């Protein structure tokens, strides 16, 4: 999509080009008209000089006194010509040599201007005027070659066009600077949004022009409301899990009462859903224990979080003498919510710890987004079971404690971050291998757009 800066620049540039082009055309036509008026005035003066030096022969033929005529009219094909006609007789300038101009008589008091082809492919500007002298109608036609006139106009248009081009370039530079400066607050807000998306900030700065302050304030309000809603939801979930755990303990005591020993089927019908619910509640409580307090919207440094998570899992599975090896860059970060990451990695490592014999490995890479590889030395899964691992409630071994929801939750979390999740057999440890790839926040924003 075209940026606002590009749209403004192109629109203003097109406007400047149209304005300067129209100005160039209008000025050029004005100069051309002015020169034509000057040319017409000069030819009119020449016609009046011819009229003043005009006399008539005995046969009525017009005769022009050569002393009253400029020498340019005597030089052959000079580009300056005249024709004087009266009563069907005419006299012409020596400059025409033996050529004739196709002119018509003009009535007294009538002045006409037009273009006419002349000798040697000249293009002539003609002024034809009608007079009355000594009771005789006289038509005087004065013409001048337009070559010098056209060269002057073309030279002016070239100079003015060059100046206009330089002015256009200067105006485009000024316009670019003004547009860039005027849109700088939008660029700053875009950078704020990028920082927010990457997790470098938890709110948008409101130091912006008055037009953008309401937008920034509304976004900050929505971010705060979303954070509060998420925090309340998680607190409510933890409270609900604790409450359910208490009630499930009560139900378990009821199911264990001696009076129900006589009804084994009824007792099993009560114990199975109670046990299933207890496992779900314990999983949520364990997740809350692993997550702890968090501040959404910030970049999460991983080394300390992974170390704390590994220590917690070693305590939870102390009976296995668990060895969890971790390899990651020292500056590895997660661009997202802290509790989301701890829930994702916590479920992966919890699943690996549950099924391993004694060894679990975690490899973290940050070259292209965030890559998590979790492996264990457990029994692994068959090819048929790999496709079922993320199905809610699926368990490869019903004798193992669990709800069958951990990897399904991981799949949902990975999908919410536009990542990929894949399973296979670990070539290093022999058990299950889980690969998680999460794009950067900026990549997700670009992909979603």
Fold of 298-449: Heat Shock Protein 90 (3.30.565)
The pLDDT, as a whole number, for residue 198 is 66
Q: Going residue by residue through the chain (449 aa), what tens digit of pLDDT does each one get?
A: 677 778 888 888 899 899 989 998 999 889 888 888 999 999 999 999 989 888 888 888 899 988 888 889 889 999 999 999 988 888 999 889 888 888 888 889 899 999 989 898 899 999 999 999 988 899 999 999 998 888 888 898 899 889 989 998 998 899 888 888 877 777 777 777 777 766 666 777 766 677 777 877 888 788 777 777 777 776 677 677 777 777 777 777 777 778 777 777 877 777 777 777 777 776 665 555 444 444 444 577 889 899 999 988 888 888 888 899 999 998 888 877 777 888 888 888 988 898 898 899 999 998 778 899 999 998 888 777 777 665 544 444 444 444 446 677 788 788 878 888 888 888 889 899 999 998 875 444 444 43
Question: Taking a C-beta distance cutoff of 8 angstroms, is the pair 362, 428 a contact?
Answer: no
The pLDDT, as a whole number, for residue 98 is 82
The pLDDT, as a whole number, for residue 284 is 64
Using CA atoms, how far apart are residues 448 and 436, in angstroms rounded to an integer? 19
Enumerate the domain spans of the chain.
4-152, 189-297, 298-449
Residue among 429, 430, 283, 398 at smallest CA distance from 346? 283
The pLDDT, as a whole number, for residue 423 is 87
The pLDDT, as a whole number, for residue 232 is 73
> Within 13 Å of residue 45, how many CA atoms lie on the same side as its CB?
6
What is the pTM for the complete model shown? 0.46
How is residue 202 written in tokens?
């938890």
Question: Taking a C-beta distance cutoff of 8 angstroms, is the pair 352, 342 a contact?
Answer: no
The pLDDT, as a whole number, for residue 291 is 47
Using CA atoms, how far apart are residues 156 and 27, in angstroms rounded to an integer? 10
The pLDDT, as a whole number, for residue 128 is 93
| Sign of the dihedral through C-alpha 206, 208, 210, 215 | negative
How much of the chain is helix, strand and coil, in % rounded to 5? Answer: 55, 20, 25
Query: In CATH terms, is domain 4-152 a member of 3.40.1130?
Result: no
């Amino acid at each position: 999509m075209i940026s606002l800066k590009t749209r403004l620049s192109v629109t203003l540039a097109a406007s400047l080009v149209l304005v300067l082009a129209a100005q160039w055309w209008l000025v050029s036509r004005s100069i051309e008209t002015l020169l034509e008026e000057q040319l017409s005035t000069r030819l009119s003066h020449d016609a009046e000089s011819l009229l003043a030096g005009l006399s008539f022969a005995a046969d009525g033929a017009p005769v022009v006194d050569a002393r009253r005529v400029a020498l340019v009219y005597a030089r052959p094909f000079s580009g300056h010509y005249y024709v004087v006609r009266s009563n069907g007789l005419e006299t012409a300038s020596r400059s025409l040599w033996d050529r004739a101009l196709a002119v018509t008589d003009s009535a007294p008091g009538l002045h006409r201007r037009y273009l006419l082809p002349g000798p040697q492919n000249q293009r002539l500007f003609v002024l034809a005027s009608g007079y009355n002298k000594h009771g005789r109608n006289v038509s005087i036609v004065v013409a001048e070659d337009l070559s010098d006139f056209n060269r002057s106009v073309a030279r002016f248009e070239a100079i003015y066009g060059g100046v206009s081009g330089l002015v256009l370039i200067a105006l485009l530079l000024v316009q670019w600077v003004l547009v860039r400066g005027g849109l700088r607050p939008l660029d700053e807000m875009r950078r704020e949004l990028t920082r927010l998306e990457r997790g470098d900030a938890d709110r948008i700065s409101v130091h912006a022009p008055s037009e953008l302050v309401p937008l920034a304030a509304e976004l900050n309000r929505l971010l705060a409301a979303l954070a509060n809603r998420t925090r309340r939801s998680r607190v409510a979930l933890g409270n609900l899990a604790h409450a359910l755990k208490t009630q499930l303990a009560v139900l378990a005591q009821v199911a264990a009462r001696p009076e129900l020993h006589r009804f084994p089927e009824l007792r099993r019908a009560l114990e199975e859903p109670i046990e299933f619910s207890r496992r779900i509640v314990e999983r949520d409580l364990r997740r809350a224990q692993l997550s702890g307090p968090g501040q959404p919207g910030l970049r999460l440094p991983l080394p300390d979080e992974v170390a704390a998570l590994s220590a917690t899992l070693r305590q939870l599975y102390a009976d296995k003498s668990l060895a969890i090896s971790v390899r990651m860059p020292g500056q590895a970060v997660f661009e997202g919510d802290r509790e989301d990451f701890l829930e994702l990695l916590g479920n992966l490592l919890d699943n690996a710890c549950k099924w391993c014999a004694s060894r679990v490995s975690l490899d973290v890479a940050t070259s292209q987004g965030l890559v998590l590889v979790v492996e264990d030395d457990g029994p692994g899964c068959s090819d048929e079971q790999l496709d079922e691992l993320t199905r809610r409630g699926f368990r490869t071994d019903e004798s193992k404690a669990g709800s069958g929801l951990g990897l399904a939750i991981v799949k949902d979390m990975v999908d919410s971050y536009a990542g990929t999740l894949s399973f296979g057999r670990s070539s290093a440890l022999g058990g299950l291998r889980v690969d998680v790839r999460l794009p950067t926040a900026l990549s997700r924003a670009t992909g979603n757009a």
